[in-house]
Amino acid sequence: MGIDQSGTILAFLESAPIAVVVIDEEGIITLINAKTEELFGYKRGELIGQSLEILLPQRFVSQHYQHRNGYFAMPRARAMGNGMDLAARRKDGTEFPVEVGLSYVEVEGQRLALSFITDITVRVEAAESLRSHAQELESRVVARTQEIERRRRVAEGLHDVLTVLNTARPLEEILDLIVEQASQLLETDAIAIYRQDDGDSGPRIQAARYLNDSETDDGSPGKMYPSFAPHAPEQSGVPTTGAESGMTQAGRYRSVLAVPLNVKGEIYGSLCLYYKAARSFSQEEKELAVAFSDQAALAIENGRLREQVGRSAVAAERTRLARDLHDAVTQTLFSTSLIAEVLPKIWERDAAEGKKRAEELRELTRGALAEMRTLLLELRPTALTEAGLGDLLRQLADAVTGRARIPVSVAVEGKGALPSEVQIAFYRIAQEALNNVAKHSGARRANVKMSQTPDSVALEVEDDGRGFDPSAVPATHLGLNIMRERAEAIGAQLEIVSAKGQHTRITATWKRR
């Protein structure tokens, strides 16, 4: 009994929810069910007796032929693609994905293969949608990772510039760092910071990257510079692009992003970013360019402030030296001139008194000379390390003797070179201590003693004046604090011994490492 003669089997195949196609060893279709007609668009009579290849795309015909022959040759050892995902072709020529399961039977000596075909279009579309979604998600993750990395680089770049802005580095070095960071983070083909001079010379380049010599024209940007009104604070932080900047595109650049540099309400110049390709700029790129422009403006403003501070410091130092010259040397020389005027008459009247006045005159001139040398040291601070500390102490003592008429003796014990910072600190401590002797002590004499050993150096300044209470010194009297700070700076110990009605002794001790 053939498969087509069994009513039970035919009814089972006809009611199957999937397409069933029965073929013989030659690949000829011998039986199909209703689901096959529905799935492929053929009538039953159009498929019975036809080769199975009618239901396959042409590119799979040869492959199917080989698989079919192998399956019939060894059906038990080689299940031909049971549950395989393949492609099928409808009557109208459209292709769709199918899953095919095979079953081998023998009916009355005839070998047949049953193909169970399921349309998996929905499943394939779902898988493709899932795969596309996964790819899109992966692309978003990669893009987000790149964005996070870019923002990290931007944050680090801005932080590096801000760190340098808080240092005393030269303005040229800071602007050079700004254009380097801006060029990297905004991926420019060239970049420049211009200073917009009011004179006929026009704008000048202060910092640049990747501009050709022909484009800079010996430092002058020519038509590559966008002009801004010199007093236009409303333009601060407003970038202009391309033709908006009023600039003729020059040479190899087709796009420009220009941001004015607003320094203290005036347009100082601009930050210009050049690109070879025509392009637009995102809001984020404009904001980053503005941030670099603000940093450049801040660097320029800080540079101006440092120059002003430097000029103020020079003026203040000159004023101080002039005041010291007037207070010390001028008054001493005036006293000297008075004594010199009356000395001949005093000598004629009383030779002993004349000798005394002559000695006083000698001390005054020595003091004036020492005071002048001290002021010269202030003008050339390196001399404090070139001369010996003993000589410097004697010079200070002579200056105080001439200025305050207080004899100051100097004793130096031991020899040896001192580190420059130690010598300067000891000199300043002695200078401040002797100034206090001259101004506040009411002493009749003072002694300065310095002793050196291989292990330590000690400086002692002592006077026989009225003394004071160290714990009751007003905060406005800075002398003692200055001496303490000098000692702490070199790791020395400072000891102050004094009381009201008693002498004062100040000792600084530094131990060699």
Residue 238 structure tokens: 């407003």
- Rg (the chain; Cα; Å): 50
Environment class of residue 3 by beta-carbon count within 10 Å: exposed (0-12), middle (13-18) or buried (19+)? middle
Q: In the prediction, which pLDDT does 105 show?
A: 77
Residues of the chain short of pLDDT 50, as ranges, are 1-2, 77-81, 217-223, 229-238, 242-250
Closest CA to 272 of 258, 288, 255: 258
pLDDT at 493: 92
Predicted pLDDT at 225? 54
Write the Ramachandran bin of 229: left for phi over 0, alpha for psi from -120 to 50, otherwise beta: beta
Closest CA to 121 of 81, 94, 161, 157: 94
Helix (H, G, I), strand (E, B) or coil at 438: helix
Q: Which of 3, 75, 56, 1 is nearest to 32 (CA)?
A: 3
Q: Write down the pLDDT at residue 40.
A: 92
User: In angstroms, rounded to a whole number, what is the distance separating the alpha carbons of residues 272 and 225?
Assistant: 8
The three-class DSSP label of residue 280 is: coil
Domains of the chain: 3-119 (3.30.450.20), 153-300 (3.30.450.40), 388-513 (3.30.565.10)
pTM check: above 0.85: no
Give 101's strand partners.
Answer: 116
Note the pLDDT of residue 472.
76
Across 201-220, b (16+ Cβ under 10 Å) vs e yields ebbbbbbbbebeeebbeeee
Q: At what angle do helices 389-404 and 351-379 cross, to 10 degrees?
A: 130
Residues contacting 310, CB < 8 A, separation 6+ = none
Model pLDDT, residue 446:
92
Q: Which residues pair with 113 in a beta bridge?
A: 23, 104
Phi, psi of 207 (to 5 degrees): -155, 145
